[in-house]
Structure 1
Amino acid sequence: MTPDAVAAASAAWTWYPADATTVETDDYLLVRWPDYFVARPGLIRLDPASAVEDTLDEVGGQVRAWGFDELVVWVKLDAPAGLEAALQARGAALDETVDVFALDLAGGPPVLGVPDDVEMRWQADEATTRDAIRVGIEAFDEGSMPDDDTVSRLAAEAADDLASGRAACALAYLDGRPVGSGGLTLVDGVARLWGGGVVPDARGRGVYRAVLAARLDHAVEHGAALALVKGRVETSGPILRRAGFAVFGQERSYVVPVPPTG
Structure 2
Amino acid sequence: MNIDNVILAIEAEQYDFEPTLRIPGLQEVRNEELILRLSEGSSSVFANKVVRSVFTSNPEEKIRKVIDFYESKQKSFAWWVGPKSQPYDLSLRLKSKGFTLEDEYVGLATSVQQAPSFESSQWTVREALTEPELRNHVAINAEVWGMDLTSVEAAIRERMSYISLPGRRGGYIVAYNNEGLPIGNGTFRISSDGQTMYLIGSAVLPEYRNKGVYHSLLQYRINKSKEEGCQLLTVQARIGTSEPILRRLGFKEYCKFEMFVKQF
1:44 corresponds to: 51
Question: Comparing 24-33 with 241-250, which one deviates more in the overlay?
Answer: 24-33
Paired residue type of 2:177: L
Aligned pairs, number: 251
Change (3 A) 1:154 1:249: closer
Match 1:21 to one of 21, 24, 27: 27
Match 1:225 to one of 231, 234, 243: 231
Match 2:163 to one of 131, 136, 158: 158
Question: What TM-score results when the alignment is normalised by the length of structure 2?
Answer: 0.85
The equivalences for 1:1-262 within 5 A come to 1-15=1-15, 18-19=23-24, 20-36=26-42, 38-39=44-45, 41-47=48-54, 49-68=56-75, 70-80=76-86, 81-105=88-112, 107=113, 109-114=115-120, 116-144=121-149, 145-146=152-153, 151=156, 154-155=159-160, 157-158=162-163, 164=167, 166-175=169-178, 176-187=180-191, 188=193, 189-256=195-262
Cα pair 1:123 1:132 within 8 Å, conserved? yes
Question: Comparing 138-147 with 124-133, which one deviates more in the overlay?
Answer: 138-147
Paired residue type of 2:84: D
Change (3 A) 1:155 1:31: closer
- Tell me, in whole angstroms, the C-alpha distance in 1 between the residues paired with 2:54 and 2:110: 26
Q: Percent identity?
A: 22
Q: Secondary structure at the match of 1:146?
A: helix
- Tell me, in whole angstroms, the C-alpha distance in 2 between the residues paired with 1:50 and 1:217: 44
Deviation at 1:158, TM superposition (A): 2.1
- Tell me, in whole angstroms, the C-alpha distance in 2 between the residues paired with 1:237 and 1:43: 22
Cα offsets for 1:33-79 (capped at 9, x unmatched):
242453373111112535321211111121122124x4321101101
- Tell me, in whole angstroms, the C-alpha distance in 1 between the residues paired with 2:49 and 2:117: 36
Question: Where has structure 1 moved over 6 Å in runs of 4 or more?
Answer: none
Change (3 A) 1:129 1:25: same
Deviation at 1:239, TM superposition (A): 1.3
Paired residue type of 1:182: G
Deviation at 1:120, TM superposition (A): 1.1
Cα pair 2:55 2:62 within 8 Å, conserved? no
Paired residue type of 1:10: I
What is the Cα-based RMSD across aligned positions, in Å?
Answer: 2.4
Cα pair 2:23 2:161 within 8 Å, conserved? no
Q: Secondary structure at the match of 2:70?
A: helix
Deviation at 1:198, TM superposition (A): 0.7
- Tell me, in whole angstroms, the C-alpha distance in 2 between the residues paired with 1:43 and 1:113: 39
Q: Runs of 5+ in structure 2 lacking a partner?
A: none
Cα pair 1:27 1:55 within 8 Å, conserved? no
Deviation at 1:235, TM superposition (A): 0.7
Q: Secondary structure at the match of 1:7?
A: helix
Q: Runs of 5+ in structure 1 lacking a partner?
A: none
Change (3 A) 1:168 1:113: same
Change (3 A) 1:34 1:245: farther
Change (3 A) 1:244 1:143: farther
Question: What TM-score results when the alignment is normalised by the length of structure 1?
Answer: 0.86
Paired residue type of 1:206: G
